[in-house]
Amino acid sequence: MNVQDGMPLARLTTMGTGGPAAAFAKPTTLAELGRALAWAAERDLPVTTVGLGSNLLGADEGVEELVLKLAGELASVRADGETLVAGGGATNAVCLHHARAAGLGGFEFACAIPGTAGGGVRMNAGAYGSDWSEILVRARVVSAEGDAWLTPAELGLSYRHSELRPGEVVAEVEYRLVPRPPDEIKRAVADLVARRKATQPTNKRTFGSVFKNPDHELGAGRMLEACGLKGHAIGGAMISPMHANFIENAGGATTADALALMAEARRRAREQFGVELEHEVRLLGAISVT
């Protein structure tokens, strides 16, 4: 396994912004992952694992960290009875493909979530009334300190939240699914994808939902729309004209542009609705949302 310098975070995130990572590696086995974590620990370098970078904004200045992207065995998928076993780096699309081929349903809700198994656990990602906590049996979490299989309760999964700490890598997961004919799964997925395309900017560079839905009758998107923010732009970043809880890279955006838009959105929601919006997107590097 090679450790590379200077991999641009822009190449590791769906938003396409962010500067270089001090070190970058793609472990393909548990042994390689262990060596990468030991390598970082010897140098006192923090470790972050990225999936598809679909809920991630990286600092324009880059990060003094070892950034890992799981590949090979750590991104493989197989069905074992009614259990789907996936590497932490396996994409949701590949998991869904294997589930359908094995006649296993229950993962359809993730068809429009462009992430990986590890990112799904970290975020307790969800859609259409389901989330990871409902299908996850257990996840194998590896860090410089050890290796343990944890249940959803032990992972502390709640709305778009887990208790995973920096440096903890989801290396493998087991999903408990249920028998369902492949054709039914195909139809259900087509329906969900069509619904998604009708309401969200699926063909733009974004990082998914910017803010968590607040405890309010309006979701974050409707609230920001009511603030008149649809289409509002700073630099190359623009609040999606289709759905106000998305920020698009409309061309040449930087992470700083996106953060400035997020600060403006928070200010307007506070002034107009008295609501403190909490960001859902994960931040990588020395950046924050004001």
Torsion of CA 89, 94, 96, 97, to 10 degrees: -160
Nearest approach in angstroms of CB 120 to ligand FAD is 4
Q: Which is nearer to ligand FAD, 95 or 265 (CB)?
A: 95
* Among 9, 22, 23, 50, interactor with ligand FAD by CB under 6 A: 50
Gap between the Cα atoms of 257 and 234, Å rounded: 6
Pattern 208-247, binding to ligand FAD, x per CB under 6 A?
Answer: xx--------------------------------------
Residues 52, 91 contacting (CB under 8 angstroms): yes
CB crowding 192-220: b at 16 or more within 10 Å, else e: beeeeeeebbeebbbbbbbbbbbeeeebb
Chain centre to alpha carbon of residue 208: 8
Residue, CB closest to ligand FAD:
51
Catalytic residue, from 54, 133, 162, 209: name it: 209
* Among 49, 213, 245, 254, interactor with ligand FAD by CB under 6 A: 49
- Reply yes or no on whether 209 is catalytic: yes
27 interacts with ligand FAD by CB under 6 A: no
Residues 265, 245 contacting (CB under 8 angstroms): no
Let me know the angle formed at the C-alpha of 190 by 187 and 193, rounded to the nearest 5 degrees: 150
Residues belonging to the active site: 160, 209, 280
Interface positions with ligand FAD (CB under 6 A): 14, 48-56, 70, 88, 112-116, 118-120, 122-123, 125-127, 164, 169-170, 202, 206-209, 282
